[in-house]
Structure 1
Amino acid sequence: MPDRQRADARRNYARILAVAEEEVAAQGAGASLEQIARIAGVGSATVRRHFPTRRALLEAVSHQRIEALCVRARELTGTGDSRAVLLEWLGDVVAYCVSARGLAAALVYDGAVPDPLHENTCAAMMEEAGAPLLRAAVQDGAVTAGITVPDLITLVVGIVLATEHRPDPAVEADRLFRLAVAGLSPRS
């Protein structure tokens, strides 16, 4: 949000974002924009002016957690076994996505050509942060060449979205993530 916005616009943005964080935490990525506007005491046009798309709102709500995941990737880069480090970070992504409803939806790669103004910055941040971890694992022969960070994030998002309504989504998401990593073949 530009610093040159009027004070009332900045207050509206902050109020909308605070309400959106609560609503997304309670309702998930499908939280009603109209309900957010009503609780924030603004019109739905004001919400849309600040957040022109649902993804823009989800990204704003998720930004702090995304930044924490990016910091974690930077901390892990160059430490330990490259495959283990990559999997540790991806495990953190799974755990964060499960604990923060709406975060997985903010990371969805929908294949659409990005609108430069409203590009998926959360996904771009994660891709940039995870690239050194993946590159090291590929160089060490621990991960198959050709796998991309968007592939891995898409896998995580799919697992999180598939388990979000289970009785214990964190346990189920972690179990399915480990299954995906191990593959279906028994260990020899």
Structure 2
Amino acid sequence: MQAPIGSFDDATPAPDCLDRLTAPVAEAVRHWQGGVPAAQIVYVDTDPEWADTAVFVEHYGRDLLERSANCVVVSGKRGGETTLAACVVLSTTRVDVNGAVRRQLGARKASFAAMDTATGATGMEYGGITPLGLPADWPVLVDQAVVDLPYVLVGSGRRRGKLLVPGEAFAQLPGAIVLKDLGIATRQDSAS
């Protein structure tokens, strides 16, 4: 099949290649209940050497920069309680941790979770964390700009491979909360 975005040699509907996904991501695809059919979630094989965004878009298509999203794990703290959550924003923005995330989680302090915490709690590889297959009790904060795109490139749970997901599917994830200004422009973006 041809990938809906980017220039990939190997694109397969995710339900047809569950063995290429980490266990939690494969389970999420296997039991997908969103309004978007699971077959519209596409796995593309990519070289982990090219996983970093700048190198990735140079190799697989410059148009992917505006169509890629990052999924990061955050930690909100209030009193003795810690809440883990995921944030999904376009790659051209950064997560508003101290504003939107802190307010949404009702936390006194919010920060990016440590790498060991993020990988241990998700069962995914650092650099490949995806919003599909996260723990069921986590809030998944999604920027509206991600939902508005026809297709979005995100991690697959591993550094090798990516998922191409219809934007509207992000709003259908368990625990999804769509926020208008979760992603804020980076200095480079605001200067242009």
TM-score normalised according to structure 2 size: 0.28
**Structure (1/2) with the larger strand percentage:** 2
Which of structures 1 and 2 has the bigger CA Rg?
Answer: 1
Bigger relative contact order, structure 1 or 2 (CA pairs below 8 A, ≥6 apart): 2
**Structure (1/2) with the larger helix percentage:** 1
